[in-house]
Structure 1
């Protein structure tokens, strides 16, 4: 980051030009934001209109919300149907994610996985840095699932899920759990978890005596599935993307360096073998 000072040579692009190009607002409005101290570059508030940045390396946020300066980055929400594996190319020939990405020219990859029998929200992107952070074991992005299970789930069972139970790979507790419905010999349970352990929802419910018959992920971090139909995909809106980038930048683990992420971009559908459903 640099600022203009007399005739000395400067580098970079003016901040207001970069943010206008990113669709934040007009240059005039952005200049007002700068004067008001509403914009930070690499965590530092900037108030000089001559501020220049390197869009490829500097991180910018407006009113505390991160901004993506690279127009080549794509972020897509998919409502994955059951029967589809979370891979861009399945070696066993099973239905994979490629059919849902054909309308975008970029080569997209899934962030984490849902097992074939689990439906719901899956994030697809070509942003290797973001994907590596979100898939990193220490990140623990919050996910919300709705599970249809056998039997009538009691309040005591809901309490046990939040208090904690012990599985074969150690103790686990839901961040939140609530019973949404119980009728005709089955129940709907909503679980909020930040664990990325393999098939964790199914194993937790089986451990308390209520095997899962259907499972859908409704939320991934700040992203909500909403009314997106099964088998459909859409790009994230500006507010959704800002919230996701802000979360990732704030809580990025030290190990998830940009260089490391770029090297691993093409493997996001494969290196994270945790099937969160």
Structure 2
């Protein structure tokens, strides 16, 4: 059993509470939506879900720090919960069911004499799709209705780019970073491409339904839960710079066999 089993159970409780709040307002005609300073939308449901999760954590893990997309950082210490209350807000506000609550626990670790952070628990809950995925370090990755009703996840064994399926979010970010030529070359060379976006391609990599995915601009809360789920399913999750984990401001995930080639295409 993982050292983080109790934290994983708590993350499921947090996801249950968030799911109830977000589904209650999904497709509501009077849903209030604002534009944040970075010009991305935020709905009342984003804020309500994060407040709910923070309230639960305050009671259950009062010593732990919290970082959330809507309300920032709170607390200090060697354990930190990372929350994206609705990953895919643009989908949410348009009635597209591809959105999820992302919850991760990160702990401090020593790497080559330096203190870093590693995600050790991740839950991705997509209630409008009726799907949930989760993992805890050392315990594998799973999908299902609950901890008691779950199927273990395993990445694909596709080993050649020309046989591989690649998922991405959009073209504009690659163009803005000057990485579009390599991105387009990859789309020409691989077997299949689809623009799913947000959390979903990472979960499909973990399931073995997609072989690799990448995004050129992300925040920690977009990646932390995805990273531990992909790795526990046997895959690799790095930045475009090859650094392991959700620390680079961008992401590449794969079944592992294709990872170095994937990074070769997408690096400047």
Task: Give the TM-score, by structure 1 length.
Answer: 0.23
Task: Give the TM-score, by structure 2 length.
Answer: 0.23
* Structure ranking higher in helix proportion: 2
Larger-Rg structure = 1
